[in-house]
Amino acid sequence: MEQKPLIKFFESYMASESLFLDKKTLQSTYTPKGVPHRDKEIKQLAEILAPTLKLERPSNIFLYGKTGTGKTLSAKYTTQQIKQLAETKNLPIKVIYLNCKLKKIADTEYRLIAQLTREFGKEIPATGLPTDEVYKIFFSTIDKEKQLILLVLDEIDQLVKKTGDEILYNLTRINEDLKNSQVSIIGISNSLTFVSDLDPRVKSSLSEEELVFPPYNALQIKDILKARASQAFKNGVLEQGLLEKCAAYAAREHGDARRALELLRVAAEIAERENEKQVKIKHIDEADRKIEDDRVLEVVKAQPKQFQATLYAIISISEKRKGSIITGEAYDFYKNISIRLGLPPLTQRRISDIISEQDMLGIINTKVISKGRYGRTKEISLAIPSSVLPKIKKILGEGLDLA
């Protein structure tokens, strides 16, 4: 590429005015000052947690609701307030927020406890110690001084799914062994059915109180968008009816406010790149597509080789002919590929799991069907829009070097 045009491009980029005033407010990491349309939930939460300020242990709480319904935000908001108040009054209250889904941080029993201990300023090796040893360290660390600990465990269902409910049992029981401190757990879960699968003992002690977060409706999402947009954008940058459209898109997907915000942000970015003075409705459509594409692309890129090879096999077959693919067929194809690549082929058992995992990631769709006399298998079809297929194939080709 010539260099001069590039400089010109940068110059014109700098000269062009940004549509954003403050982009941060649209990003998912941003914590707004209030949580609109969640007054009722926050009030309940506050009532339950209030005893904390008298240094009495509040009940354990369980928050449910789908993604983007403000669970995390409400919990963070409420606990922050408590923390602030505690600080000004010099109360020994500690709030710990942990997202159990974060890989390598809190997705196993060992790591969760280790991370908790770290929150109290004690270093714990990433691995190497027996789990009960870590428990002991954790115990002695928090019990050293008198304090009340509010433990917020986000996406707790992921944790339990991976490691079983033993941790929760231990954590809920922990108060019996502590002399000075007290721990109270706030569990947050996306899955509504989560609690019913728990061990009854855990269930009763963990969900002393429950709070359900219903999805936002389109009107509420619009409100939320409006509030954030006023901070994020300059005046008059948004086309009339844009927020409504954005809200409608998100409401269609079970009222996910996070998605609505992302949609708005990406749409604005697209508009900016196209040198538009305004974010238009067509940009929303484009953003919707882009988000989905990017998500798939990211997911695919992050997969280990064996996953990529499996996906490659499935894509190749689906290109060759119409109709759905069955496990055996995909496996045969996969085996060829992996041999060609010098990868040790995995067992069918494993590939079966890999296919299921990719189903969960939304890259492919599978359905277990029984073809009577001809057995029982998974029917596989691609969930990727055909527009991204070439890109994906390219990434897979690179990832597997050679194709």
Nearest to 220 by CA among 25, 35, 29: 35
Q: Which residue among 4, 89, 103, 320 contacts DNA (CB under 7 A)?
A: 103
Q: Please, are residues 46 and 194 in contact by the beta-carbon 8 Å criterion?
A: no
Match 């963070």 to its residue by tokens: 76
How far does the chain reach from its first CA to its final CA, in angstroms?
28
Check if the beta carbon of residue 69 is closer than 8 Å to that of residue 211. Answer: no
Rg (CA), the chain: 25
* Among the listed residues 60, 108, 158, 308, the single contact to DNA using CB under 7 A: 108
Query: Residue 382's beta-bridge partner residues?
Result: 364
Nearest to 110 by CA among 156, 164, 167: 167
Sheet of 325-326: strand order equals 325-326, 376-382, 364-370
Sole window of 91-99, 124-132, 246-254, 284-292 interacting with DNA (rule: CB under 7 A): 124-132
Q: Is 376 in the site for DNA (CB under 7 A)?
A: yes
Q: Which of residues 228-267 bind DNA (CB under 7 A)?
A: none
Assess contact for 389 and 364: CB atoms under 8 A.
no
For DNA, what does the binding mask look like between residues 62 and 101, x meaning CB under 7 A?
A: ----------------------------------------
Q: What is the token pair recorded at 229?
A: 């947009």
Shortest distance (Å) from residue 302 CB to DNA: 11
Coil vs helix vs strand at 264: helix
Minimum distance, C-beta of residue 262 to DNA, in the bound complex (Å): 27
- Report, in Å, the least distance between residue 76 CB and DNA: 25
Closest CA to 25 of 34, 13, 16, 38: 34
Hey, is 61 helix, strand or coil? strand
Q: Considering beta carbons, is residue 65 or 399 the nearer one to DNA?
A: 399
Closest distance to DNA from the beta carbon of 97 (Å): 20
> Does 309 interact with DNA (rule: CB under 7 A)?
no
Under rule CB under 7 A, how many of the chain's residues touch DNA? 42
Q: Kindly tell me which residue out of 88, 90, 193, 347 binds DNA, with binding defined by CB under 7 A.
A: 347
By the rule CB under 7 A, 107 interacts with DNA = yes
Q: Is 104 in the site for DNA (CB under 7 A)?
A: yes
Chain mean position to CA 125 = 26
Shorter beta-carbon distance to DNA: residue 90 or 127: 127
The answer to whether residue 121 forms part of the interface with DNA (CB under 7 A) is no
Residue type, 93: I
304 contributes a contact to DNA by CB under 7 A: yes
Binding segment toward DNA, per CB under 7 A, in 47-55, 60-68, 105-113, 294-302: 105-113
Note whether 326 binds DNA by CB under 7 A. Answer: yes
CB of 368 to DNA, least distance (A): 5
Query: Smallest gap, in angstroms, from Cβ of residue 115 to DNA?
Result: 10
Q: Is 374 in the site for DNA (CB under 7 A)?
A: yes
CA separation for the pair 253, 337 (Å, rounded)? 37
| CA–CA distance, 309 with 396 (Å, rounded to integer) | 8
Residue 301 contacts DNA per CB under 7 A: no
- What's 172-213 look like in SS3? HHHHHHCCCCEEEEEEEECCCCHHHHCCHHHHHHHCCEEEEE
Helix (H, G, I), strand (E, B) or coil at 154: strand
Closest by CA to 258, choosing from 267, 250, 266, 268, is 250
Structure token pair of residue 225 = 């968008």
Q: Is residue 323 at the binding interface for DNA, with CB under 7 A as the rule?
A: no
Q: Is 127 an interacting residue with respect to DNA (CB under 7 A)?
A: yes
Closest separation between CB of residue 184 and DNA, Å? 24
Does 110 engage in binding with DNA (CB under 7 A)? yes
Q: Is 375 in the site for DNA (CB under 7 A)?
A: yes
In the complex, minimum distance from the CB of residue 101 to DNA, in angstroms, rounded to a whole number: 12
Q: Applying CB under 7 A, does 130 fall inside the site for DNA?
A: yes
Q: Is 155 in the site for DNA (CB under 7 A)?
A: no
Using rule CB under 7 A, residue 126 touches DNA:
yes
Cα 19 to Cα 266: distance, rounded to the nearest angstrom: 12
Positions in the binding site for DNA (CB under 7 A): 103-104, 107-111, 125-131, 304, 306, 326-329, 344-350, 352-356, 368, 370-378
